[in-house]
Structure 1
Amino acid sequence: MPNLSILPEPAPTRAGGTRIVGRALTCAVFALAGLLFYVSAHAARGTDLRTDDSLLRLSDVIRQRSAQNQQAQAQLADQQERAEELAQQQGSPADTALLGALQQGSALEPLAGPGLTVTLNDAPPNATARIPGVPAPGVNDLVIHQQDIQAVVNALWRGGAEGIQVMDQRLISTSAVRCVGNTLLLQGRVYSPPYVIRAVGRTEALRSAVDADPTIRNYLQYVQAYGLGWKVQESGDLSVPGYSGTVDLRSATGQ
């Protein structure tokens, strides 16, 4: 049988000291945990910390502000209508005619006539490449971007549009098309696709301007490859509403 070496027994005082230190550390950890639970409960004061208003998602805040802006715009439209009625009652016929011309030029009055309607939409869910040899789409290839909407608006202006409406709002000279994520932010309100753009003007000139725009041509390649939405409709009797928002400039800088 093999020889077994006998190890000396450890000093009892060393092991005993280790156990005492371990127990002290354990007690300290439990005490610290209890203190943290108490502080958290005292700070919450019986409420759920996860549902604090400061933790709302940005998208929820934007939609809430959009609803408030929509209500404010409706109230502003009522006030503008009352102001126009008073001006017509108190002004001379020449003044009334001048006021109407200024309102028409500033997009404050509804507009009707022949025109074009352009609709853009995201690709269907789980869309894949429809053309052989085209790479699989990324997330950004399947959604409408700011430059797509802006390209259509710019092309319609170049085509001689007398007035343009995006979704349910009339555009004016200070209107700006902005996208936040996959939603459209326009004049303080947010919209989701499909995006509908209407323009009153000569339909042939409007369509020619849209067909000739290079950014739109690039977008149409994605329409064919991945199924993004694109629809153009001509109309002999199209109407767009008057602008109902504020026309005051909050700030301006000169160059």
Structure 2
Amino acid sequence: MRALTAAVFALAGLIFFTSFDTAKGTNIRTDDSLLKLSDLIQERSRDNGRLDEANAALRDDIESLAERDDGSTSAEDDRLAALEERAGTQELKGEALSVTLDDAPPDATAKLPGYPEPEPDYLVIHQQDLQAVVNALWQGGAQGIKVMDQRLISTSAVRCVGNTLILQGRVYSPPYKITAVGDPGKLKKALSASPAIQNYMVYVNVYGLGWKVEEDGKATLPGYSGTVDLHYAEPAP
């Protein structure tokens, strides 16, 4: 029994030494010098933003060089410009409408009788809320849409992880602003007709989730500046 006890103490001493050696004298629970996961995500998001800007600048240089002497006809150039506009890689100008969604106050309570007190999930913007707005704006005839400062294209995916939006490699926190170029009247009508948004409005009225729709007048959406390579799955042989 004494031998077993001695072995246990020896093992405990080894664990404490290993922990100390790993920490190098820092508090591994609270030391500010240790990079938190959220900080790493934000850092990578900023890096992706800088890379997007550099990629856009290089693309502009390539297009300028190609336009000098590409051997194409005027009709072919017009067709290419139309395809680029539809693909979302060029700037888009026109009448615009913006929708802003935001979390409710953390101490929110039910404002109307007959509704339960809110769970934490009731007070934050979810992925389906953003998707509902984007889908409704497309349904209303939007010619182009940007979420925050990024243009959406056919391969864009609006995803939320916890209380943050991850879009094309970059991370955003609420409030979330979605801007669409199109007929403002038709866009508003499409928002009002969406069953998903009608459900969201219940939470706006009862728990105070943020909802603001504004006509922006003439606006310019940026062209998509990220990669346009398609990634797809292939069946296994």
TM-score with structure 2 setting the length: 0.87
List alignment gaps of at least 5 residues for structure 2: none
Percent identity of paired positions between Structure 1 and Structure 2: 56
Residue 234 of structure 1 is matched in structure 2 by: 215
**2:188 equivalent to 1:207:** yes
Deviates more, 1:88-97 or 1:149-158: 88-97
**2:121 equivalent to 1:140:** yes
Residue 28 of structure 2 is matched in structure 1 by: 50
Residue 220 of structure 1 is matched in structure 2 by: 201
Q: What does the per-residue CA deviation read over 1:197-254, in whole Å, with 9 as the maximum and x for residues that have no partner?
A: 0000111111111100000000000000011000001233122111111101133447
Residue 74 of structure 1 is matched in structure 2 by: 53
Give the Å deviation of 1:102: 2.0
Q: What does the per-residue CA deviation read over 1:47-86, in whole Å, with 9 as the maximum and x for residues that have no partner?
A: 547279xx85443332222122111111110111001101
Give the Å deviation of 1:155: 0.4
* CA gap 1:157/1:28 in 2 versus in 1, 3 angstroms: closer
Residue 95 of structure 2 is matched in structure 1 by: 114
Deviates more, 1:91-100 or 1:80-89: 91-100
Give the whole-Å Cα distance in 1 for the aligned partners of 2:98 and 2:120.
Answer: 27
AA matched with 2:39: D
Give the whole-Å Cα distance in 1 for the aligned partners of 2:176 and 2:15.
Answer: 51
Give the whole-Å Cα distance in 2 for the aligned partners of 1:205 and 1:160.
Answer: 7
AA matched with 2:113: P
Give the Å deviation of 1:45: 8.1
List alignment gaps of at least 5 residues for structure 1: 1-20
**Please, which of 54, 62, 79 is the counterpart of residue 41 of structure 2?**
62
- Does the 8 Å CA contact 1:87/1:96 hold for their aligned counterparts? no
- Does the 8 Å CA contact 1:88/1:96 hold for their aligned counterparts? no
Alignment RMSD, CA only?
2.6
Q: What is the DSSP-based 3-state SS (H/G/I as helix, E as strand, rest coil) of the residue aligned with 2:166?
A: strand
* CA gap 1:46/1:218 in 2 versus in 1, 3 angstroms: closer
Give the whole-Å Cα distance in 2 for the aligned partners of 1:82 and 1:70.
Answer: 19
TM-score with structure 1 setting the length: 0.81
AA matched with 2:212: K
Give the whole-Å Cα distance in 1 for the aligned partners of 2:179 and 2:141.
Answer: 13
AA matched with 1:81: D
Give the whole-Å Cα distance in 1 for the aligned partners of 2:229 and 2:137.
Answer: 25
- Does the 8 Å CA contact 1:122/1:229 hold for their aligned counterparts? yes
Deviates more, 1:165-174 or 1:67-76: 67-76
AA matched with 2:28: R
* CA gap 1:46/1:134 in 2 versus in 1, 3 angstroms: closer
AA matched with 1:143: V
Residue 193 of structure 1 is matched in structure 2 by: 174
Give the Å deviation of 1:26: 7.4
- Does the 8 Å CA contact 1:169/1:241 hold for their aligned counterparts? yes
Deviates more, 1:87-96 or 1:32-41: 32-41
Give the whole-Å Cα distance in 1 for the aligned partners of 2:229 and 2:7.
Answer: 65
**2:221 equivalent to 1:243:** no
AA matched with 1:123: A
- Does the 8 Å CA contact 1:76/1:245 hold for their aligned counterparts? yes
State the aligned residue count.
Answer: 230
* CA gap 1:38/1:119 in 2 versus in 1, 3 angstroms: closer
Give the Å deviation of 1:184: 0.4
AA matched with 1:100: A
Q: What is the DSSP-based 3-state SS (H/G/I as helix, E as strand, rest coil) of the residue aligned with 1:179?
A: strand
Q: What is the DSSP-based 3-state SS (H/G/I as helix, E as strand, rest coil) of the residue aligned with 1:50?
A: coil
Deviates more, 1:142-151 or 1:127-136: 127-136
AA matched with 1:78: A
Give the whole-Å Cα distance in 1 for the aligned partners of 2:206 and 2:13.
Answer: 60
